[in-house]
């Protein structure tokens, strides 16, 4: 049987009049936390998006972006709101993406220090699938040793902490047993090499990282399966937060360029939709279904905005024409995730879906 709303009453004095009875509905303790804390927070960031200054500071380097992002973390503790605010204050899509990416890491790894830029190291020369991971984590006495190579690490040259996906061997079925390791980027044996700029969002640096017998303490090896608990859900978490940052940036462009109010309101509605998904279980098939729909709505909104770019300043318009290719990255992965979710829903009770 489903949960029935529980009604609670309290007496209020003051503006509502002495003895006034206020009726509030709570379904459970989580709902109470949401109503008391989440709602004010979302209105705070919504106010920032609709009334904040539409003149972003000039961000002439990734260091300038990080200083601004770090400043925003002091105001916005919810990663989704940090992504929105970071996007809104970015002067280009590349730095909006960087804020969304880093906010996604904060969402999945909330105990990481907020003042240290972090990068996820997963992709290797053979790809990013769990079976392609060859970086090794081996036990050496009371410690561990990390050896291997990551071929494409976003924000790799700026990161101070690296979240490394590594294999500790194979299970009885011959599948990689993956773990996630937190490593200081300056530790002995860690070698970071900058990669050439991409043809889109060139401001966002990428790197190749090699690990040569890097010593790791036991408390730097995170608990749980590195794929199921971290790498797999990150794909969904990243989609939510990067698109929130995109929407924040678009709202700034829309307000600054005088786009029609209905367009801005539609973007704001998409913010609420995507923010809600960012708080949902990233492993659940129903989340993947809803996210597939939300991404399609966002795509359609961008398509309708296309004629409005003529009103945007030349520099922003030219960067958008160059950088919009970013939105198509990982399109096949998203399509596969949606296909699997549909099949999972059709086959029975909802729950985590697998894309293996």
CB half-sphere exposure, 30, CA atoms < 13 A? 3
How many of the other CB atoms lie within 10 Å of CB of 300? 11
Pairing label, strands 118-121, 161-170: parallel
Q: Which two tokens stand for residue 303?
A: 């398509």
CB half-sphere exposure, 54, CA atoms < 13 A? 13
Which domains occur in the chain, in start order? Answer: 62-106+229-347 (no CATH), 118-224 (2.40.110.10)
How many of the other CB atoms lie within 10 Å of CB of 344? 20
Three-class secondary structure of residue 284 per DSSP: strand
- Whether the Cβ atoms of residue 248 and residue 88 lie closer than 8 Å to each other: yes
Distance, CA of 137 to CA of 178 (rounded, Å): 9
Distance, CA of 337 to CA of 183 (rounded, Å): 30
Residues whose CB falls within 8 Å of the CB of residue 229, separated by 6 or more in sequence, listed in order: 180, 222, 223
- Whether the Cβ atoms of residue 305 and residue 327 lie closer than 8 Å to each other: no
Which of 308, 297, 295, 301 has the alpha carbon at shortest distance from 335?
295
Q: Which two tokens stand for residue 14?
A: 């003051």
Judged on CB neighbours under 10 Å (0-12, 13-18, 19+), 242 is buried
Q: Which region, left, alpha or beta, applies to residue 239 given φ > 0 means left and ψ of -120 to 50 means alpha?
A: alpha
Longest distance between any two alpha carbons in the chain, whole Å? 71
**Phi, psi dihedrals of residue 215, rounded to the nearest 5°:** -80, 135
Give kind and range of the element (H or E) at residue 46: helix 39-51
How many of the other CB atoms lie within 10 Å of CB of 55? 10
Judged on CB neighbours under 10 Å (0-12, 13-18, 19+), 118 is buried
Which of 92, 164, 102, 168 has the alpha carbon at shortest distance from 136?
168
38-91 tens-digit pLDDT: 444 688 999 999 999 999 999 999 999 999 999 999 999 999 999 999 999 999
DSSP state of 223: S
User: How do the pLDDT tens digits run along the chain, 356 residues long?
Assistant: 333 333 333 333 333 333 333 333 333 444 444 444 444 468 899 999 999 999 999 999 999 999 999 999 999 999 999 999 999 999 999 999 999 999 999 999 999 999 999 999 999 999 989 999 999 999 998 999 999 999 999 999 999 999 999 999 998 888 999 999 999 999 999 999 999 999 999 999 999 999 999 999 999 999 999 999 999 999 999 999 999 999 999 999 999 999 999 999 999 999 999 999 999 999 999 999 999 999 999 999 999 999 999 999 999 999 999 999 999 999 999 999 999 999 999 998 655 655 55
- Whether the Cβ atoms of residue 186 and residue 167 lie closer than 8 Å to each other: no
Which of 126, 240, 338, 241 has the alpha carbon at shortest distance from 355?
338
């Amino acid at each position: 049987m489903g949960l029935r709303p529980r009604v609670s009453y309290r007496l209020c004095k003051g503006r509502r009049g002495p003895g006034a009875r206020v009726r509030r509905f709570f379904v459970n303790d989580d709902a109470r936390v949401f109503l008391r804390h989440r709602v004010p927070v979302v209105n705070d960031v919504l106010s920032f998006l609709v009334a904040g200054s539409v003149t972003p500071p000039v961000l002439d380097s990734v260091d300038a972006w990080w200083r601004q992002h770090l400043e925003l973390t002091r105001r916005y503790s919810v990663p989704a709101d940090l992504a929105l605010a970071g996007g809104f204050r970015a002067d280009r899509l590349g730095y909006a993406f960087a804020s969304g990416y880093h906010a996604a890491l904060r969402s999945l790894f909330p105990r990481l220090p907020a003042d240290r830029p972090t990068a996820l190291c997963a992709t290797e020369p053979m790809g990013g699938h769990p079976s392609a991971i060859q970086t090794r984590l081996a036990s050496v006495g009371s410690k561990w040793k990390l050896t291997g190579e990551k071929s494409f690490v976003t924000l790799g040259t700026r990161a101070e902490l690296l979240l490394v996906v590594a294999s500790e061997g194979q299970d009885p079925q011959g599948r990689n047993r993956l773990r996630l390791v937190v490593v200081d980027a300056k530790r002995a044996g860690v070698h970071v090499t900058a990669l050439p700029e991409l043809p889109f969002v060139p401001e966002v640096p990428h790197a190749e990282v090699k690990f040569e017998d890097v010593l790791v303490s036991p408390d730097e090896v995170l608990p749980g399966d590195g794929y199921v608990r971290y790498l797999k859900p990150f794909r969904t978490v990243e989609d939510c937060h990067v698109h929130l940052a995109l929407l924040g940036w678009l709202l700034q462009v829309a307000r600054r360029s005088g786009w029609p109010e209905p367009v801005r309101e539609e973007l704001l509605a998409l913010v609420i939709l995507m923010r809600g998904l960012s708080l949902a279980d990233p492993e659940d098939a129903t989340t993947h279904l809803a996210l597939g729909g939300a991404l399609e709505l966002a795509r359609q909104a961008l398509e309708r905005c296309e004629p409005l770019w003529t009103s945007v300043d030349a520099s922003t318009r030219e960067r958008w024409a160059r950088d919009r290719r970013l939105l198509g990255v990982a399109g096949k992965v998203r399509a596969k995730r949606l296909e699997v979710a549909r099949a999972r829903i059709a086959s029975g009770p909802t729950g985590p879906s697998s894309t293996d």
